[in-house]
């Protein structure tokens, strides 16, 4: 079975400051890793994903995450945040293969990022 731990439930930061949202996972098999963002009264939007290849993945709006297999981590970072980044962020894992992976993501409990002016 897999599990995901998001180490911070809330992260307040000031605008233009850097931010890191931490995510650790546990799995006995190889996994894919994802970060999703959820704005109030909306569904989840995929921010970025690690499937294979380069361990550093980037989104179009300045976020990046690095897959660290030895530390089983997939932390999300942004060098300079904006007010519009205020949202809840979810880390998720999925098994690479097998019937139990179909459609199934295991999510962390979420981190609420609040960007203050």
Partner 1 sequence: KAGVTQTPRYLIKTRGQQVTLSCSPISGHRSVSWYQQTPGQGLQFLFEYFSETQRNKGNFPGRFSGRQFSNSRSEMNVSTLELGDSALYLCASSPGQGAFNQPQHFGDGTRLSIL
Q: Give contact residues for partner 1 (rule: CB under 8 A).
A: 32, 34, 36, 41-46, 49, 51, 90, 92, 94, 96-97, 99-110
Which of 98/117 has CB closer to partner 1? 98
Nearer to partner 1, 59 or 101 (CB): 101
Work out how close the CB of 68 gets to partner 1 at its nearest, in angstroms, rounded to a whole number.
Answer: 20
- Taking the least distance from each CB to partner 1, the nearer of 83 and 96 is 96
Residues 6+ apart with CB under 8 A from 40: none
The C-alpha atoms of residue 72 and residue 27 are separated, in whole angstroms, by: 9
CB 31, min distance to partner 1, A: 10
Who contacts 18 (Cβ-Cβ below 8 Å, separation ≥6)?
Answer: 77, 78, 79, 80, 81
Least separation, in Å, of the C-beta of 9 and partner 1? 11
Residue with tokens 């909306």: 42
Asked if 81 and 113 touch (Cβ cutoff 8 Å), the reply is yes
Q: How far is the CB of 14 from partner 1 (least distance, A)?
A: 27
């Amino acid at each position: 079975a897999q599990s995901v731990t998001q180490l911070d439930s809330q992260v307040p930061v000031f605008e233009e400051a850097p931010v890191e949202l931490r995510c650790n996972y546990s799995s006995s098999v190889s996994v894919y890793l994802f970060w999703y963002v959820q704005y109030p009264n909306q569904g989840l939007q995929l921010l970025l994903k690690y499937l294979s290849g380069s361990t550093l993945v980037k989104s179009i709006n300045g976020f990046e995450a690095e897959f660290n297999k030895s530390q089983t981590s997939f932390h999300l970072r942004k060098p300079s945040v904006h007010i519009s980044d205020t949202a809840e962020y979810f880390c998720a894992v999925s098994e690479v293969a097998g019937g139990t992976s179909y459609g199934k993501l295991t999510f962390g409990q979420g981190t609420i990022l609040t960007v203050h002016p």
